[in-house]
Amino acid sequence: MQFLPKSVTIKAISDTVPVENQIKSYECLIKDAKPEFSVFWLITRKNGTQENATKNISNNSSKSGDLITLSSKLTLTLHKRFKELQCVAYFLDKTGIVTYSKKLDMLIEYSPEKDTMTLNVFGGKVCADTPTKFQCSWKGGHPPANVTLMYKNVSNTSKEEVELNVIPSKFHQTVKCLGIHIAANVSREKNFTIYYPPQVNIHISNETNNTLQINCTAFGGNPEIYEYKLEQKWGNATKNTYNMNVLSINNPSFSNTGTWECHVSNEDFHVNKSSNYKFPMKPIFSSISNNPKKRNVAIGESVIFKQCFYSHPKSDVKWQKNENLIDSNKYLTTDYLSSEFPFKGSCTSVKIEDIKDNDFGTYTLTVENTIGKKVIIFAMRLKEIVEVPLRIIIGCTVGIVLLIILGLLAYKCHKKRGVKHNKKDTVGTNPLEDAHMVSIYGINASLTGDVEDVYATISSEPSTVEDQDAEISDPRYLCMRHLTVEEQYAEISEPKYLEMKQQNMDGAYVNISKKPGDVEGTYINVSKKPGGKISQNFWDDLIYV
């Protein structure tokens, strides 16, 4: 008679957390079965493949009446690729194989691979006294590992990846990363090459053979490859530049004074250091920051006398008015910084407000030190008020009045001439048939056609009436009124010359040009016939045109 197992169970014998590379035992218990069952073990990997566990298996059975209980124990070394453990109980009967099985999930913890820890720096270089970011990473464990990054006494901890911002020192070149996991503790140290600037010294000496020597030295930097440059500055302006670290100047003078800067560069850093060289000098007045030395001012105005200067050593300042000393609390002395001088100078000024008669005169500035002195004199004079003479005012007034009168007379004359011209312009308007003679102030012209307006082009009046050249520069236009001419030739393609008979003209020709369409105006070009003469009456009549 057969009895199937009452239960099949699988469990770990110990309660410890399963960790990779740990040796751990498992038990499969098949309880109260008849006949006795056989057992085999299956391991399923994370990739889905299965394999039989055939080693380190022990089986023990016990009876309770006719029923048998089987205990099968498996001992194995855990691997992070194990996913599931299965116990399979079976026996053979007449119908085939009867099986019972039980599965157990294998939640195995494991650490990341030791050689997967990375330690890096952002930017590739570590420069002393420069903000730098380090990074440490240790990934791939279950659960994730804790990672701690340390530099000197500064540290930071995070899961799997951590960053640390520090300002490295050239005296501490090691960064350490520590990975901590349940199964293992891993640490990694990395020594970085730390780049740092050199120390720079500059020395100026003027002790041997009246020679000025400027010496620039650098040491203690990484890398120890340096480039040197010496600069001479006056104020903020660079006066001279030398690509060297040692400069010798024979017979130094005032032009060699100033701030000397030593510039040193290596691959990653630029360092400079400066030193001043001063030369004893009596006061020097500024040529760009001063006031006019002579001032013309009026009563009640204000004026400022100002002068800037430089000296070494410092100078005493004294102001005088007409050789009388001015109290120091009545003038001002301030600093003056300019590229005109090698170092900071001074400006002194005196202000005279609400000027009165007794303020006029000379103001003397004396600037003096142990080397010498400098004097400058300012003069303040009363401004002369220039008045316009009365005769000029009267003359201008009379001239304006005469201009007005002449303008009125010219306007009146022009108006009278216009009236006379209108009267002469009204010629008889009886209709003419065929050829007609048009009389214009003594000129008779024979016209043909329907012409309402005819213009005579007269050249400028000659200087002598008897003889005149043919060419005339300024034409004048005389409008000749004629109402209607009954007949007119249809086309006039070229100018027609009509002889005009006049008692004082030997001969004159009228040039008539036709206007297209209905002729509104015709222009008559009157020119003198060769050898002919024009009478004085002719020109007199034309004077009103």
In tens, the pLDDT along 280-327 reads: 999 999 988 667 889 999 999 999 999 999 999 999 999 999 989 999
Nearest by Cα to 80 from 105, 114, 45: 45
How high is the pLDDT of residue 124? 79
Cα distance between residue 335 and residue 352, in whole Å: 21
State whether residue 400 is helix, strand or coil: helix
Cβ(364)–Cβ(308) below 8 Å: no
Architecture of domain 284-382: Sandwich (2.60)
Burial of 506-529, coded b for 16+ CB within 10 Å and e otherwise, reads: ebbbbbbbbeeeebeebbbbbbbe
**Other beta carbons less than 10 A from residue 307's beta carbon:** 24
Edge-to-edge strands, sheet with 96-105: 50-53, 38-45, 82-93, 96-105
pLDDT tens for 53-77 read 989 999 998 988 888 899 999 999 9
pTM over 0.85: no
**Given a cut of 80, is residue 509 above it in pLDDT?**
no
Cα distance between residue 326 and residue 323, in whole Å: 9
Edge-to-edge strands, sheet with 237-242: 237-242, 227-234, 258-265, 270-277
Q: Which residues pair with 514 in a beta bridge?
A: none
> What residues have CB less than 8 Å from 403, skipping those under 6 apart?
none
Cβ(117)–Cβ(188) below 8 Å: yes
Cβ(359)–Cβ(352) below 8 Å: yes
**Other beta carbons less than 10 A from residue 105's beta carbon:** 11
Cβ(141)–Cβ(180) below 8 Å: no
Cβ(431)–Cβ(486) below 8 Å: yes
Cβ(126)–Cβ(195) below 8 Å: yes
pLDDT tens for 233-281 read 998 899 999 999 999 999 999 999 999 999 999 988 999 999 999 989 9
How high is the pLDDT of residue 437? 36
Among 78-82, 89-93, 394-398, 536-540, which stretch is predicted with the lowest mean pLDDT? 536-540
Cα distance between residue 7 and residue 202, in whole Å: 94
> What residues have CB less than 8 Å from 373, skipping those under 6 apart?
282, 283, 315, 366, 367
State whether residue 372 is helix, strand or coil: coil
Average pLDDT for residues 378-395, to the nearest whole number?
Answer: 78
Top mean pLDDT of 6-10, 122-126, 540-544 is at 6-10
Cα distance between residue 276 and residue 212, in whole Å: 13
State whether residue 268 is helix, strand or coil: coil
What would the two tokens of residue 191 be?
A: 């020594």
Tokens 């407000």: give the residue.
353
pLDDT band at 453 (very low <50, low <70, confident <90, very high): very low
Q: Hey, what CATH topology would domain 199-277 get?
A: Immunoglobulin-like (2.60.40)
Residue 199: left if φ>0, alpha if ψ -120 to 50, beta else—which one? beta
How high is the pLDDT of residue 41? 94
Nearest by Cα to 456 from 502, 410, 518: 502
Which residues belong to CATH 2.60.40.10 in the chain? 7-105, 114-195, 199-277, 284-382
Extended beta strands in 152-236, E state: 154-159, 161-166, 174-180, 185-191, 194-195, 199-208, 211-219, 227-234
CA dihedral of 44, 47, 49, 52, whole degrees rounded to 10: -40
Tokens 């566990």: give the residue.
53
Cβ(332)–Cβ(348) below 8 Å: yes
367 burial type by CB count under 10 A (0-12 exposed, 13-18 middle, 19+ buried): buried
Q: Are strands 132-137 and 161-166 parallel, antiparallel or unpaired?
A: antiparallel
What would the two tokens of residue 87 be?
A: 């116990």
333 burial type by CB count under 10 A (0-12 exposed, 13-18 middle, 19+ buried): exposed
pLDDT tens for 154-167 read 999 999 999 999 99
Architecture of domain 7-105: Sandwich (2.60)
**Given a cut of 50, is residue 530 above it in pLDDT?**
no
Cβ(51)–Cβ(82) below 8 Å: no
Q: Give Cα 25 distance to the centre of its chain.
A: 76
Cα distance between residue 8 and residue 160, in whole Å: 41
Nearest by Cα to 296 from 377, 359, 381, 357: 381
Among 86-95, 173-182, 293-302, 457-466, which stretch is predicted with the lowest mean pLDDT? 457-466
pLDDT band at 32 (very low <50, low <70, confident <90, very high): confident
Architecture of domain 114-195: Sandwich (2.60)
Q: Which residues pair with 68 in a beta bridge?
A: 33, 63
Cβ(25)–Cβ(58) below 8 Å: no
Nearest by Cα to 178 from 132, 113, 117: 117
Cα distance between residue 39 and residue 44, in whole Å: 17
**Given a cut of 90, is residue 27 above it in pLDDT?**
yes
DSSP 523: E
Cα distance between residue 545 and residue 538, in whole Å: 12
* Helices then strands, each counted (H, E), the chain: 2, 40
Average pLDDT for residues 498-504, to the nearest whole number?
Answer: 42
Cα distance between residue 148 and residue 108, in whole Å: 24
How high is the pLDDT of residue 418? 64
Of all residues in the chain, what percent carry a pLDDT higher than 90?
A: 47
